[in-house]
């Protein structure tokens, strides 16, 4: 089992080898340098979020499902927490990054 894991990690390292300064692999390596973020999470964040052309931070939060979900009933208004709409993998990665 450990040999299989080691082989997968070596393939991941080869796939994210630095090619150019502005390539997605450079972003993966930059994010993976953050303590607590692995290469797998960094790769997912780059390919799921950073490769998209989102207009601002609010659009990123909406895509990930990190916006609030209000509950309005008559005069009563309250916040129920995070909305569950959006990409669950991205939401978990963004919470881990925060």
Same domain, 22 and 61: no
Helix, strand or coil for residue 58? helix
Overall domain count for the chain: 2
pLDDT computed for residue 3 by the predictor: 93
CA distance 21 to 24: 9
Q: Given pLDDT bands bounded at 50, 70 and 90, which one contains residue 19?
A: low
Same domain, 3 and 47: yes
Same domain, 78 and 47: no
Same domain, 68 and 39: no
Tell me what the pLDDT averaged over the chain comes to: 79
Same domain, 38 and 70: no
pLDDT computed for residue 16 by the predictor: 67
Same domain, 35 and 60: no
- Please list, in sequence order, all residues whose beta carbon lies within 8 angstroms of the beta carbon of residue 23, skipping any fewer than 6 positions away: none
15-35 mean pLDDT: 73
Same domain, 37 and 13: yes
Structural domain boundaries, residue 85:
56-98
15-36 mean pLDDT: 73
């Amino acid at each position: 089992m450990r040999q299989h894991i080691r082989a997968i990690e070596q393939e991941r390292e080869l796939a994210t080898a630095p090619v150019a300064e502005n390539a997605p692999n450079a972003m993966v390596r930059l994010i993976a340098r953050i303590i607590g973020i692995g290469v797998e999470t960094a790769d997912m964040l780059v390919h799921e979020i950073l490769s998209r052309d989102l207009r601002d931070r609010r659009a990123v939060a909406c895509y990930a499902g990190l916006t609030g979900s209000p509950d309005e009933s008559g005069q009563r208004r309250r916040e129920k927490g995070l909305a569950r709409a959006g990409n669950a993998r991205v939401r978990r990665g963004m919470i881990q990054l925060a």
